[in-house]
Amino acid sequence: MGKTDATDSADPPDPIFVVVQWSSSEPKFSKISLEASASSWTLAKFKAHAAAVLQVEHLQLPDFNEDMDEMTLSDLSIGLTNVPILLDLAGAEPTLAVPAAATAPEDEEEEAEAAVAEASEASAAVPKAVPKGPPSFATRKALEDASEVKDGWLFLSGQLAASSLDCLQRLGISHVMNCCERIPCKFKGRLKYKVIPVMDTKSSDIRVYIPDAVAFIDEVLAAKGKVLVHCMVGASRSVSLVLAWLVAQCKLPLKQAFQLVRSKRHQARPNRSFCEQLMDFEEETLGSRSACLADFFHK
């Protein structure tokens, strides 16, 4: 009887809130509420739902390429951070079915902490001591988002790990390579950042960013530091640049490099254009091609 009472009185799961942003004369923001079980929705289902809520015919999410449509919101960390999801409404102006916010929502406590850190430790590039005690639920989720790629010093992630100072400190991260410039570099006073402003689109030329990315990772290795390379999801942009480093500096064939990264991070899947550019890069760097599009799950 007691067990039944506990079940009956249990609070329902908290809803998921997704902050969205769309471009117009001035960026506008809104918050879409989803039931807790929506974490298992595919991205395609979320896009259809968001279009219905905002009362527009269709929309695109520039931070998520078309290969991600069947990934879940949980895998994409959608609704788990305050980073707004950018919407492309193709010029349409939504008739809001939800209240709009005048400015982007922020986590005030985290923003204050980041501001204090930046002001008081502007010259530091070394993380604080590892926090003591067991991690919180939020930190555990962030740690799950971070994938160790090489020897305990090179990590890949999406926005979730990159947004958690506790996670970064527990991993001992000293450097962060941010491959999605819309994600704020929140802890500049504590960590050294490199921003790679590449979009996850077929028209993006990721090869122009490879020299800077390789040099930054080399810098971390020489300093005996630890680096987190991230983008929005940790699937395409960040993975592509880590693959380029493995080919260029470790002389790993591209196919083998991707197999390594994929074994560490199941979300890893650069978009088709990035794969083609990486195959060209491998041939120029190593003198031959080891991979084809099928090796990256592209037809």
Q: Which pLDDT value is given to residue 111?
A: 45
Q: Which pLDDT value is given to residue 211?
A: 98
Spell out the domain ranges in the chain.
Answer: 10-101, 108-296
Long-range contacts of residues 188-191, Cβ cutoff 8 Å, at least 24 apart: 188/114, 188/117, 188/118, 188/122, 189/114, 189/116, 189/117, 189/118, 189/119, 189/120, 189/121, 189/122, 189/124, 190/117, 190/121, 190/124, 190/126, 190/127, 190/128, 190/165, 191/125, 191/127
Q: Provide the 8-state DSSP code for 42.
A: B
Look at residue 113 and tell me whether its pLDDT is greater than 80: no
Locate 37 and state its tokens.
């079980």
pTM, to two decimals: 0.83
pLDDT tens per residue, range 62-82: 899 989 999 999 889 898 888
**What is the CATH number assigned to the segment(s) 10-101?**
3.10.20
CATH T-level fold of 108-296: Protein-Tyrosine Phosphatase; Chain A (3.90.190)
Burial (CB < 10 A; 0-12, 13-18, 19+), residue 48, is: middle
Rounded distance, CA 197 to CA 201, Å?
12
Q: Which pLDDT value is given to residue 14?
A: 79
Locate 173 and state its tokens.
């991260």
Q: Which pLDDT value is given to residue 12?
A: 66
Query: Higher-confidence residue: 6 or 207?
Result: 207
Which is the catalytic residue, given 167, 179, 180, 231? Answer: 231
CA end-to-end span of the chain: 57
Q: Which pLDDT value is given to residue 154?
A: 99
Locate 137 and state its tokens.
């639920």
Look at residue 188 and tell me whether its pLDDT is greater than 80: yes
Known catalytic residue: 185? no
CA-based nearest residue to 17, from 140, 89, 101, 112? 101
Q: What is the mean pLDDT of residues 184-198?
A: 96
pLDDT category at 260 given cuts 50, 70, 90 is: very high
Q: What is the CA radius of gyration of the chain?
A: 20
pLDDT tens per residue, range 193-203: 999 999 999 99
Rounded distance, CA 139 to CA 294, Å?
36
Locate 150 and state its tokens.
């090489």
pLDDT tens per residue, range 35-53: 989 999 999 999 999 999 9
